[in-house]
Amino acid sequence: MKKVLIIGGTSSLAKPIISKLEDNGYEIAAMTFRQQDKIYDNYTWARVDFYEYESIDIFLHFLPPDTYSKIIFLSGSGLGKNYKDVTEEDTASFYKAFLINYISLMMNLIHRLDDDGQIVFISSIAANIPIEDAHYSAVKAGVEAFVRSASSQLSDNQSMFSISPATITDLMREDIANLILNADKSYNGKTIDIHI
């Protein structure tokens, strides 16, 4: 059975993606959470808080030595403020969490891909348009750039790509789930915009 690892299983996008993949023969092998009260059903859950690198390290040791057909990164966060209103300390902490630690986990998980496995990063339209939360925009763009460049160093049949949605609607959730299900090697290195 094809195994899936989901980083950010409590995201609003997770359930439709899980449903679509399970209906098509995938096993959700593990999911991560940050807040205990948001976990659901009897999946294998592991805590990851990007603000605490130790939690990432523990998670990597917790994972069995399996490989995955799909590794999906749904986690994300913003500061929700005009960049001028954020302290230097909060700015540094945010970039360390959602750029440095995020990419570090992604690098570690590249080695957990099947021979034809995929890493899917859910980015945001904010990576490419002006928004008030400039720091959110910057980290999304940074991870997108990492995915695009790292994709050129994968094994022949592996792939990494980003999906860049606008405001998430129910219809868009379905589109994203279908896109993840049907993605193939031709998606490697791409950023796919979904705007409704």
pLDDT in tens, 139-160: 999 999 999 999 999 999 999 9
| Residue-wise pLDDT tens digits, 83-141 | 778 899 999 999 999 999 999 999 999 999 999 999 999 999 988 888 888 999 999 99
Neighbouring residues of 196: CB distance < 8 A, sequence distance ≥ 6: 166, 169, 171, 172, 175
**Sequence-ordered list of residues with C-beta below 8 angstroms from that of 37, at least 6 positions apart, any chain:** none
pLDDT in the model for residue 187 = 97
Give the integer Cα–Cα distance in Å for 137 and 122. Answer: 13
- Every domain of the chain and the residues it spans: 2-79+113-194
- Whether residue 168 is predicted with pLDDT greater than 80 in this model: the reply is no
Distance CA 79, CA 91 (A): 9
pLDDT of residue 196: 62
Q: Please tell me the predicted confidence (pLDDT) of residue 170.
A: 81
- pLDDT, residue 57, reads 96
Band of residue 6 on the pLDDT scale cut at 50, 70, 90:
very high
Percentage of the chain with pLDDT > 70? 99
CATH architecture of 2-79+113-194: 3-Layer(aba) Sandwich (3.40)
Contacts of 12 (CB under 8 A, 6+ apart): 168, 173
| Count of C-beta atoms within a 10 Å radius of residue 83 | 14
- Please check whether residue 180 is in contact with residue 24, taking contact to mean a CB–CB distance below 8 angstroms: no
Q: Is there a contact between 14 and 74 (Cβ–Cβ < 8 Å)? A: yes
What global pTM score does this model have?
0.94
Beta strand segments in 123-190, E? 159-165
pLDDT at 53 over 90: yes
Q: Quote the pLDDT of residue 131.
A: 86
- Residue-averaged pLDDT of the chain: 93
Burial class (CB in 10 A: 0-12, 13-18, 19+), 50: buried
